[in-house]
Amino acid sequence: MLLIAGLGNPGAGHAKNRHNIGFMAVDEIARRWSFGPERARFNALTREGSIDTSTGPLKVLILKPQTYYNEAGRAVGAALSFFKLDPADLVVFHDEIDLAPGRFRMKAGGGAAGNNGIRSITAQCGPHFRRARLGTGHPGDKALVHGYVLSDFHKSEQPWLDDLLRAVADAAPLLAAGDDEKYQTEVMRLAPATKADPKKPPRGD
């Protein structure tokens, strides 16, 4: 079994925020692979389903913590413990301001790099889980980061955002198979993005 968690904040007011791209990604995976309806469990919204792999379908639980971004570890830790899963069975989709908009990178283990949601999950589960990092760019000044991540994507960003979300869902069999390197490569093949300076994100509509 694989646990796929997306990071974001609950409520309609946050739905289109850059900080909620993790929610958007797991929602698209659930839609693409026809997962079941949402259920409230583990202080989260969950959906169950399966993703095809070369060795057959793999059972997957998608989880969107409703504890707010910085406390995501409470929900993730509860689900991991309930299903008796190892951290290696956990993939967390989250926004990454140190990647240019539309870029995508997989990472296993390591530090939180200032991401409080990842820090919260690490405190509950240890650092050895898989991270799917979705580039949103950086506002260029550390003092602007809070407002930037809690602001909505611009209309001008919608094309690359749609392409990226579709790619992470279409390539999901590689993720389910545990081949993160091939998954990263396939996502970037399906949704190529310019290797831009992450501190020069798109602005305006």
Q: Which residues are catalytic?
A: 19
Contact 161, 153 (CB under 8 A): yes
Alpha-carbon span 64 to 62, nearest angstrom? 7
DSSP H/E element including 81: helix 72-82
Alpha-carbon span 117 to 52, nearest angstrom? 29
DSSP H/E element including 49: strand 44-51
* Residue position matching structure tokens 């991991």: 80
Contact 25, 168 (CB under 8 A): yes
Bridge partners of residue 133, in order along the sequence: 94, 105
* Residue position matching structure tokens 């545990």: 178
Contact 103, 135 (CB under 8 A): yes
Alpha-carbon span 10 to 44, nearest angstrom? 9
Alpha-carbon span 53 to 51, nearest angstrom? 7
Q: What is the residue type of 123?
A: A
